[in-house]
Structure 1
Amino acid sequence: MVLFEILFFVYVIILMGNSIIVITRVDQALQTPMYFFQCNISYLEICYVSVTLPITLWIQKRNIVCMTQMSFVLMLGNRECLLLTALAYDHYVAICDPLRYPLAENHKVCVQLVAVRWVTGVPAEIGQACQIFSLHFCRSTQINHFFCDVPPILKLACGDTFLNGMLVFTVAVLFVMISFWLILGSYSEIISTF
């Protein structure tokens, strides 16, 4: 019960901290592309917390809950990288090409960028979770970890899991590195304008 109360308190604090979603809907001056992307990042943070905190209390006993949590954590991590990339592009256009900004970053373009970010990689991440949970588990299916993550699950699997681990690592590096280089390029261009 104490753990539940602590997690519930943390959950409420995080929800209140991400109130930018409500604020940007109420104030017309804040309905700009930058706040639109920040709103999506706040929504993503709420999703992250909703996937990790409440489910953590049930994870030890239910395999399907573990698989669901792992799928969502992988997908949301992917989304975060891609949304940060879209926000960096927004900053790049706003600072490096301010006259073109209203045309390049109109509401339709912002919605399309975010929609592509939310849809990109979903099949890959669900495929990864399904591939990991299709392994044969000969030991206990109870993980000794805070939440359902790839390394603790791979430790429970029988046989060689090197290929599975490398596939997960490759997809993660691909999404993270592409986002990193695009963000780095955007901010390098911004810094070079000064």
Structure 2
Amino acid sequence: MGPLIGDDGTPRCPWAGAAPGVMRDYHDDEWGRRVHGESAYLERLTLEAFQSGLSWSTILNKRPAFREVFCDFDADRVAAFDDADQARLMADARIVRNRLKIAAAVTNARATVALREQGGLEAFVLGFAPDPPPSYADTSAMATTSAESKALSKALKKAGFAFVGPTTMYALMEAIAVFDPHLEGCHRRGRTDEASA
């Protein structure tokens, strides 16, 4: 399937939907745009891990609570979480309550802090950008992993990260515009340099 024309006459990647809503807003305002800074990268990495096995709209709807409970993804603060903090998060119905994913978020914050000695999380992830970047006209041709996402997954695991499988890392690379993920013909194609929040 190629781009879907919305009720506003605008062509978008079909998963964004034809009508206004959280998915369309995310597609238009954030997905496939570059982000900058450690906390922005840690947030996207954490949310992609929590999304595994769930719908992305579930994560987007819970995102304000995720930002609150994970201290706006300040790596130093999350890295200091102890067992009591993780138990508190497990009791918070506003987020996805998965013990392994919560523990992984803390583990990944600690690994992010440690990665500063190697230039930081942002530079680390961007080091796996595909060359040439993929380009798709149709969803049937789109990939869910790549040689680069597999290499990023392996490197992050070696650096102490958890819940960073190749499919999750491919989704991360799409979300933060390590390459332009939008279909050819989508109104967002070619606009990855517009930084999002």
Q: TM-score, normalised by structure 2?
A: 0.30
TM-score, normalising length from structure 1?
0.30
Higher relative contact order (CA 8 A, sep 6+): 2
Q: Which has the larger radius of gyration?
A: 1
